């Protein structure tokens, strides 16, 4: 997210920050409180210490963050990168996560993870696929980003099945909408994320880091929690936000020069100290760990 130079020239950037608290077809007890604040906090972070111009950051919240609008904004970012108008993309998405039955056969647990948009609604006993964004769709979009372009993604949402340790309280709520009917064959739930390609490789104190693409890939994804955990919507000093986002933004404001690995370590420590049962995961080439957050890094 740094506005320095890339290989001797100025970095051209685009960002999309999405935050959804209110869902048009859902009862209020299923709404969230901190996702819009997440989007605004990421905008302030990008246009503050990371030097993005205001016009380089698009923010979509609540009623404006429909499936059509979010996918359209994502496609605009990818197009800008593809035609050489941007060499650094940032995408942050905060909302409920959910699951739908996998129809393509590419998921071992027979369910697709999905990001809930503001127009989410039921189709009989399932969620309508026309009102959410599947992980397959995010994967396909992000795969179109040229390898020369750095893509930073933060997804503060979750998919949680049975056996949760963290139950809702007056000030903490899981960011998960269970399917209206349990997805057939689902064994467990996983965070909304772009599925990794090669297997994981442990990498120092940051914990497991997955390679997110081929040798030239510069895609970096931070997921707010592990596959068996919930991402929390929580109250901090009288203001709601995502727990992961709260500590991530705080850490990056405190030390914009901290490496990705160090940022991940600090966020995990702060979450644990505040008794949040979630452990953010970083999907990225191992070389990205030693470089400050948002900076390019050498591969190979």
Q: Which residues share a beta bridge with 24? A: none
Statement: residue 95 has pLDDT above 70: yes
Q: Which of the residue ranges 32-36, 62-66, 120-124, 248-252 would you say has the lowest mean pLDDT?
A: 120-124
Q: Is residue 297 part of a domain?
A: no
The pLDDT score that the predictor gives to residue 163 is 23
The single residue of 17, 158, 225, 244 carrying the catalytic annotation is: 158
Band of pLDDT at residue 173, cut at 50, 70 and 90:
low
Give the pLDDT confidence of 179-193 residue by residue, as tens digits: 675 544 443 333 333
| pTM over 0.75, yes/no | yes
Q: Is residue 68 part of a domain?
A: yes
Q: Is residue 179 part of a domain?
A: yes
Q: Is residue 161 part of a domain?
A: yes
Let me know if 158 is a catalytic residue: yes
Q: Is residue 295 part of a domain?
A: no
The single residue of 17, 35, 88, 96 carrying the catalytic annotation is: 96
Let me know if 96 is a catalytic residue: yes
CA nearest neighbour of 228 among 174, 264, 171, 269: 174
Residue with tokens 């920050």: 17
Find the distance separating the first CA and the last CA of the chain, reported in whole Å. 22
Tokens encoding 2? 């740094």
Q: Is residue 272 part of a domain?
A: yes
Please give the average per-residue pLDDT across 22-27, as a whole number: 92
DSSP code of residue 138: H
CATH number, position 249 = 3.40.50.1460
Count of the separate structural domains present in the chain = 1
The pLDDT score that the predictor gives to residue 218 is 74
Cα–Cα distance list, 157 to 20, 132, 208 (Å)? 11, 13, 19
Band of pLDDT at residue 271, cut at 50, 70 and 90:
very high
Q: Is residue 216 part of a domain?
A: yes
More confident residue, 107 or 123: 123
The pLDDT score that the predictor gives to residue 129 is 84
Q: Is residue 299 part of a domain?
A: no
| 244 close to 231: Cβ distance less than 8 angstroms | yes
Domain span holding position 46 = 5-290
């Amino acid at each position: 997210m740094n506005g320095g130079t890339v290989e001797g020239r100025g970095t051209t950037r685009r960002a999309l920050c999405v935050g959804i608290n209110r869902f048009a077809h859902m009862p209020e007890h299923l709404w969230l409180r901190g996702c819009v604040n997440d989007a605004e906090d990421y905008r302030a972070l990008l246009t503050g210490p990371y030097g993005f111009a205001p016009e380089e950051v698009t923010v979509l919240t609540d009623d404006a963050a429909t499936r059509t609008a979010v996918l359209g904004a994502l496609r605009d970012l990818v197009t800008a990168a593809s035609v050489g108008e941007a060499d650094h993309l940032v995408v942050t998405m905060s909302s409920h996560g959910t699951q739908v039955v996998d129809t393509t056969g590419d998921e071992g647990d027979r369910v697709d993870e999905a990001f809930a948009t503001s127009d989410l609604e039921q189709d009989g006993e399932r969620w309508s696929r026309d009102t959410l964004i599947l992980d397959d769709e995010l994967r396909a979009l992000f795969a179109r980003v040229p390898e020369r372009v750095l893509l930073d993604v933060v997804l503060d949402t979750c998919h949680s099945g049975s056996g949760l340790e963290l139950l809702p309280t007056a000030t903490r709520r899981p960011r998960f909408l269970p399917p209206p009917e349990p997805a057939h064959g689902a064994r467990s739930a996983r965070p909304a994320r772009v599925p990794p390609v090669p297997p994981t490789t442990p990498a120092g104190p940051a914990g497991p880091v997955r390679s997110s693409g081929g040798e030239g890939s510069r895609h970096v994804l931070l997921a707010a929690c592990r596959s068996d955990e919930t991402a929390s919507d929580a109250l901090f000093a009288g203001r709601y936000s995502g727990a992961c986002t709260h500590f991530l933004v705080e850490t990056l404001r405190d030390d914009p020069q901290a490496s990705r690995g160090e940022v991940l370590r600090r966020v995990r420590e702060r979450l644990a100290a505040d008794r949040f049962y979630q452990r953010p995961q970083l999907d990225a080439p191992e070389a990205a760990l030693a470089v400050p957050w948002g900076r390019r890094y050498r591969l190979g």
